[in-house]
Amino acid sequence: MLIYLRVLKESFNFALNALKNNKLRTFLSLVGVTIGIFSIIAVLAAVDSLKREIEGSISGLDNSTIFLGKYSFGPTEVPTWKREQFPDVSYEEYQYLKKTVPDLMAASYTLNVGSETIKSDDKSVENVAVGAVTDEYYEIEALKLADGRFFNEVESISGTPVVVLGDEIANTLFGSSQVALGKQVRLYGRKFTVIGVLKKEGSNIFGGNSKDTSVYLPVNLVRRIFGDSNKNTFPFIIIKPEKGVDNAEFIATLKQKMRLSRGMRPDDIDNFFVNQLQGFADVIDQITGTMNVIGLVISGFSLLVGGFGIANIMFVSVKERTNLIGIQKSLGAKNKFILFQFLFEAVILAIIGGLIGLFLVFIVSIVASQFTGDFEFVLSPWNMFVGTAISAAIGLIAGILPAISASKLDPVEAIRTGM
C-alpha cells in the first residue's frame, strides 16, 4: 500500500513539474478537458436547476392530484374535432362527484378566467390573475396565508363578495398585508372585501410573480358574472384522493361515476380527460432527461478533444523521460510501478483540468443567478462529483496507452535512447 502512495506522490510531483516546465503545452492539453467538463457540468446544473424550479412551482400540489375537464394536459389519440365536441365539466357534476366518489379527500370546482385590473381608491394593479375556486382549493393547493383567512364553504356556495389577495397585490394597493384586511377593492365593477393575504412566494420561470399577483374569489360569484355557458372560462374539477389510495383504482371509479352522471353508453368513449399531476411530473422528467442526453452528447465531443490532448502530453512525457524510465527499471522498478506512475500522472492532469472547469461553472452559476432574479442556478455536490469522476475517467482512458508503452520499455534501450 505504501508503494502506491509513493507512486501517487511522485506522479503528482511529475504532473506539477509538467505544468511548471511546459506551461503552454500543458495549457493547450488541459483546455480541452476544462471546456469539456465545463460544458457537461453546466448542462447538468442548468437542467437540474430548471427541473428544481418547475417542481418548486407545483410543489403545493400532491402528485396524486387530478384535473378533470374537457382538455388533456398531454398527447392524446382523440382527434381534435372530437375533443371540441366534449362538454365542459359542470358545477353540478362537481357536487355529484363529491358525494359519490369514495376515498376523496377534497375537490374544488375552478374557472380559468382571464386577467383583470383590481382597484382600491386611486390605486390599481393590471394583469391580475383571478382564481375562481371553491373553498377546498385552499387545502388542495396547500396555500399559505400571511394574514387573515381563506373563504369558507358557506361563502363559497353563496358567492359572497370576498377576496384573498396575493402578497404583491396587497402591498401595491395598501402598503402591507395587515392594512389590507377588511378593506374594499373593485373587480368586475363590483366591491369585494379583503379577508386574507397570501404569503410571499416569489417569481418563477413561467413569468409573472406566481401567486403574488393573483387573487382568489368564490367560484359561484364568478359563475354569476360570466354565466355557465361562457366558452372562455375553461372549468376544471381538481380532485385530491385520500393518502394511500390506489390511484389506478381511484381513477377507474372516478371515470365510472363521471360516465354515469352523463348517461354514457358502454361503447361511448370518455368525453372528458382525467389528468394526473404525476403524469405531468413524468413528462418533466422525460424532457429534462432528453435535455441531459443531448447536452452530454454535444459536450462529449469537447471532452473527446481533451482526452486526445491528455494522451498527447503523456506520449511526449514518456519520450522525454525515456532515460529516467531506463534508470528506474535498471534499479529494479517493476513494469507495474512504471505503469501506475504514468497512469496516475494522466489522471491527476485530467482532474486538474476538470477542477478548473468546475470552478468556471461555479462562477458562471453565481453570475447567472444574479441576472435571473429568483431563478437560481445550483451546482450540486452530485454534479461536482460527476465532473471529478468524468475527469478521472478521461485521464485513465487517455493515459493507459502511454503508460503501457512506458512500462514495456527495455531498460538498456531506454537508457541508450535517452542518451
Number of structural domains in the chain: 2
Q: Measuring CA to CA, which residue among 344, 400, 348, 295 is closest to residue 49?
A: 295
Percent of the chain predicted with pLDDT > 90: 27
The pLDDT value recorded for residue 18 is 62
Q: Which residue has the higher pLDDT, 198 or 53?
A: 198
Q: Are residues 179 and 309 in the same domain?
A: no
Q: Is the pLDDT of residue 254 over 90?
A: yes
> In terms of domains, do 114 and 29 share one?
no
Domain extent for 393: 2-57+283-418
Partner residues linked to 107 by β-bridges? 239
1-15, 64-78, 126-140: which range is least confident on average? Answer: 1-15
My answer on whether 264 and 290 are in the same domain is no
Non-local (6+) Cβ contacts of 198 within 8 A are 143, 144, 145, 146, 164, 165, 166, 167, 211, 212, 214
Our CA angle for 392, 285, 302, nearest 5°, is: 35
Measured on CA atoms in the order 58, 102, 93, 87, is the torsion positive or negative?
A: positive
Start-to-end CA distance of the chain, whole Å, equals 34
The HSE-up count of residue 318 (CA atoms within 13 Å, CB side) is 23
Cα–Cα distance between 164 and 221 in angstroms, integer?
Answer: 14
DSSP assignment of 293-338, as one string?
A: HHHHHHHHHHHHHHHHHHHHHHHHHHHHTHHHHHHHHHTT--HHHH
In a domain, 6, yes or no: yes
Domain boundary among 248, 271, 294: 271
Q: 222 and 310: one domain? A: no
**Mean pLDDT of the region 329-353:** 78
How far is it, in rounded angstroms, from Cα 21 to Cα 377? 38
Confidence class of residue 373 from pLDDT cuts 50, 70 and 90?
A: low
Is the residue at 105 inside a domain? yes
Is residue 117 over pLDDT 60? yes
Q: Are residues 289 and 266 in the same domain?
A: no
Q: Are strands 190-198 and 145-148 parallel, antiparallel or unpaired?
A: antiparallel
> Do residues 375 and 392 touch, judged by C-beta distance below 8 A?
no
pLDDT the model gives residue 186: 93
CA separation for the pair 42, 293 (Å, rounded): 13
The yes-or-no verdict on residue 86 having pLDDT over 70 is yes
What pairing do the DSSP bridges indicate for beta strands 184-187 and 162-165?
unpaired
What are 257-280's pLDDT values in tens digits? 999 999 998 888 999 999 886 655
> Do residues 338 and 403 both lie within one domain?
yes
What CA–CA distance (Å, rounded) separates 95 from 157?
11
Return the higher-pLDDT residue of 135 and 384: 135
Boundary-marking domain end, from 207, 238, 271: 271
Whether the CB-CB separation of 264 and 87 falls below 8 Å is answered with no
Residues in the chain, total: 419
Per the domain annotation, does 194 fall within a domain? Answer: yes
Tell me what pLDDT residue 417 has: 66
Cell numbers describing residue 132: 375562481
What was the pLDDT predicted at 192?
95
pLDDT of res. 301: 74
Which three cell numbers, joined as nine digits, stand for 136? 377546498
For residue 350, the model assigns a pLDDT of 85
How high is the pLDDT of residue 279? 56
Residues 139, 225 within the same domain: yes
Same domain, 212 and 318: no
Q: Answer yes or no: do 249 and 347 share one domain.
A: no
228 and 292 part of one domain: no
Q: With contact defined as beta carbons under 8 Å apart, do 188 and 138 qualify?
A: no
Using the predicted structure, report yes or no on whether residue 368 has a pLDDT greater than 60: yes
Across residues 321-333, what is the average pLDDT?
74
Mean pLDDT of 223-250: 87
Average pLDDT over residues 356-384: 76
Give yes or no for residue 177 having a pLDDT over 70: no
Mean pLDDT of the region 401-409 = 81
Residue 81 lies in a domain: no
State the residue for C-alpha cell 507495474: 336
pLDDT of residue 281: 58
Quick check: 305 pLDDT over 80? no
Query: If you average pLDDT over residues 381-388, what whole number do you get?
Result: 82
Q: Are residues 224 and 371 in the same domain?
A: no
What's the pLDDT band for 205 if we cut at 50, 70, 90? very low
Which DSSP string do the residues of 35-68 spell out, in sequence order? HHHHHHHHHHHHHHHHHHHHHHHTTTS-TT-EEE
Q: How far apart are CA 143 and CA 124, in angstroms?
A: 24
Average pLDDT for residues 69-76, to the nearest whole number? 83
Percent of the chain whose pLDDT exceeds 70: 82
Residue 403's pLDDT is what? 82
Is 276 part of any domain? no
Query: How many whole angstroms separate alpha carbon 387 and alpha carbon 355?
Result: 8
Give me the chain's average pLDDT, please: 81
**91 and 178 within one domain:** yes
Count of Cβ atoms closer than 10 Å to residue 279 Cβ: 16
Of 249, 271, 293, the position where a domain reaches its end is 271
What pLDDT was estimated at residue 208? 46
Average pLDDT over residues 199-217: 72
pLDDT at 206 over 50: no
The grid coordinates of residue 65 equal 392530484
Would you say residue 92 lies in a domain? yes
In a domain, 77, yes or no: no
Q: How far is CA 269 from CA 77, 79, 92, in A?
A: 11, 12, 21
